[in-house]
Structure 1
Amino acid sequence: MYESYYGFKEKPFQLSPDPRFFFASNHHQRALSYLQYGLDQGEGFIVITGPIGTGKTTIARNLLNNINDANIVAVQLVTTILNPHELLALVAAEFQIEVEGSSKAELLQGIEQFLIRLNQQGKRALLIVDEAQNLPSETVEELRMLSNFQLDNKPLIQSFLLGQEELKGIIQAPDMEQFRQRIIASAHLKPLSEAEVKEYIDHRLQQANCNKEHVFDEGAYAVIHDKTGGVPRKINIFVDRILLFGFLEDLNVIDVEAVNQVAEEMEIELTGSLHAKPISESTATQTITTEIEAASLDSIKSTLKEVEDILDTTIKEKVKMARYVDKLLKQKNKELSQSK
């Protein structure tokens, strides 16, 4: 869509985590350093927490992408609410461990034998558990029990836990003392500062091989930070939409006015729809009559104004979509004529 217009070789603000687009803010770099430190230690738990969309999964994938040690066999779990038995089954499946039965004892035996074979080959296992806040405390405790698998006083498996802020509450519970004593490092991710938002956006544009010197006006970055709170995932969604808007409006440089207009459009899309419960015709007539009798003239005018605004926005969106389709058709015709 807008990629060729702005000279990108790919979309710079995709939602799916991509290690190539990893941006090392101060907090993200510290978290990554803790993960790397834990990896070098080869034992204990590393815990990374943070609000939704702050980049925990991206950090994990960046770490996996940059592991140069062929002796580390790593898998990543994206968990839901699992009991201890289900967790063990998932661990066995991700490590591709063949287990004869499905009982907990058989799963544990199969996992232990697999880890011993890895150790004999000079290798060790790394388990990265994403969305760990979904795990009940007894399942987190099962992870601790897995860390008890040792050979020659060396742990056979290591675990990293990444989760939303609720994970801290699970770990801080009174009955989790033994687990807390196994944590060798932890970090909490925070949203990006205003300066980091600018660096983040410019970094992703550069990774997409942007050939323009300026895509955003300097003042636009502050508005983007204000509207997204500095949360990377929200920035991706918002800026992607802004770039589409810039393409449709033939903007060479996106300014504050454009950013505010997109923010207003997105706010209306999310919160401006009308919701009504189905009611019978007689009830509807009675309700309308009662409301008209009770409502003041100013209230009726206000309601009509709101409806008018919503209709106006809908018409604008229809026009914009028509322009967008027309623009795509012209672009396709141009490409076809050039290929002849």
Structure 2
Amino acid sequence: MYKAYWGMEFNPFEKSLSERDFFKSDDFTQAISRMEHLKNIKGIGLFTGLPGTGKTYTLRCFVNSLNPNLYKIIYITLSTVTVLEFYKAIAYGLGVEPYSKKIDLFKAIQERIISLSKDKKIIPLIMIDEAQYLKTDVLNDLKLLLNFDMDSKNYAILILSGQPLLNNILSKQIHDALKQRIVINYNYEGISKDEVNGYISSRLKLCGIVDEIFNANAVEAINSCCNGSTRLLNTILEKSLMMGYQKGLKVIDTEIVMSVQNEINLI
């Protein structure tokens, strides 16, 4: 009902929006450019940022831009696994028999990666989301798994995506060898104050609204409340519109935004 009240054709703040309608923030542009470079040089890329800053969405857009005939995509979201479970997850993704012994899995995975890259001209792209939860043993094995031809070749792309904690983990001496193999690194800053206003305007225009709904003070409050998180920004905007509809308002003000923020904090 609130969408009809504001004259919205659809909800422009939901995560299922098409990639063509996605707001191209500076974070998105910076991360995508680095992923494109990683595509050319292969190896390990590290992308970190606070929750809700768009890391997973960027990965999705990047994957959708790739030619499926040239890349084999393995996307792993369950990062709280043992070493053997991790190997099996990659094996399943590569279409390799999930042997029960780690040494057999290791050999089969490496052989499959080399075969895809050299014989079929297909680049394996392994993406690990929420990588800050990876166990130390798994991180130790990553540098071994991607060691080809006595560490002289890159036959695959590995993207580690996670929260800033991942940077702290990799800075430990035990992971120094893995960190040295990271060829691309980007940390998401989050949506900026200047971008918030443009984001709100572009999202509303997308669903057919041209009139100002959020006044300047409300936008300022929204920027402070979202703390750089696009996910939280979307939640605040949608709940503000719902509350504005319930109160019969024509413009969203600071009072509504702060009420929504208090409501969110109680969840």
Same fold (TM over 0.5): yes
Can you list the C-alpha shifts for 1:103-129, whole angstroms capped at 9, x where unaligned?
112222332332233221111101111
Residue type at the aligned position of 1:139: V
Can you list the C-alpha shifts for 1:12-37, whole angstroms capped at 9, x where unaligned?
22256864453332233212211111
Residue type at the aligned position of 1:47: L
Structure 2 stretches lacking a partner, 5+ long = none
Tell me if the contact between 2:88 and 2:98 (Cα under 8 Å) persists in the aligned partners: no
Report the CA distance between 1:191 and its aligned residue.
2.6
Q: Between the two structures, name the one with larger relative contact order (CA 8 Å, sep ≥ 6).
A: 2
SS where residue 11 of structure 1 aligns? Answer: coil
Tell me if the contact between 2:79 and 2:129 (Cα under 8 Å) persists in the aligned partners: no
CA 1:242–1:93: 2 relative to 1, 3 Å: same
Matched with 2:49 is 50
Matched with 1:3 is 3
* Aligned residue runs from structure 1 range 61-72, under 5 A: 61-68=60-67, 70-72=69-71
**Equivalent in 197, 220, 223 of residue 221 of structure 2:** 223
1:109 aligns with 2:133: no
Q: Distance in 1 between matches of 2:71 and 2:127?
A: 12
Q: Distance in 1 between matches of 2:67 and 2:3?
A: 33
SS where residue 73 of structure 2 aligns? Answer: strand
Q: Quick check: which has more Rg, 1 or 2?
A: 1
Q: Distance in 2 between matches of 1:21 and 1:55?
A: 14
Tell me if the contact between 2:79 and 2:128 (Cα under 8 Å) persists in the aligned partners: no
Residue type at the aligned position of 1:36: E
Tell me if the contact between 2:79 and 2:134 (Cα under 8 Å) persists in the aligned partners: yes
CA 1:251–1:75: 2 relative to 1, 3 Å: farther
Q: Distance in 1 between matches of 2:74 and 2:17?
A: 16
CA 1:188–1:206: 2 relative to 1, 3 Å: same
Tell me if the contact between 1:6 and 1:212 (Cα under 8 Å) persists in the aligned partners: no
SS where residue 240 of structure 2 aligns? Answer: helix
Matched with 1:191 is 190
RMSD: 2.5
Q: Which has the higher helix share?
A: 1
CA 1:66–1:205: 2 relative to 1, 3 Å: farther
Matched with 2:35 is 35
Can you list the C-alpha shifts for 1:198-225, whole angstroms capped at 9, x where unaligned?
1222333344x33333232232211101
Q: Distance in 1 between matches of 2:74 and 2:18?
A: 17
* TM-score between the two structures when normalised by the length of structure 2: 0.88
CA 1:149–1:210: 2 relative to 1, 3 Å: farther
Q: Distance in 2 between matches of 1:17 and 1:83?
A: 35
Tell me if the contact between 1:18 and 1:58 (Cα under 8 Å) persists in the aligned partners: no
Residue type at the aligned position of 1:108: F
* Aligned residue runs from structure 1 range 291-310, under 5 A: none
Q: Distance in 2 between matches of 1:35 and 1:64?
A: 10
Q: Distance in 2 between matches of 1:8 and 1:76?
A: 35
Structure 1 stretches lacking a partner, 5+ long = 271-340
Matched with 2:58 is 59
SS where residue 215 of structure 1 aligns? Answer: coil
Residue type at the aligned position of 1:58: Y
* TM-score between the two structures when normalised by the length of structure 1: 0.71
Q: Distance in 1 between matches of 2:88 and 2:98?
A: 12
Residue type at the aligned position of 1:145: L
Percent of aligned pairs with the same amino acid? 28
Q: Distance in 1 between matches of 2:13 and 2:31?
A: 22
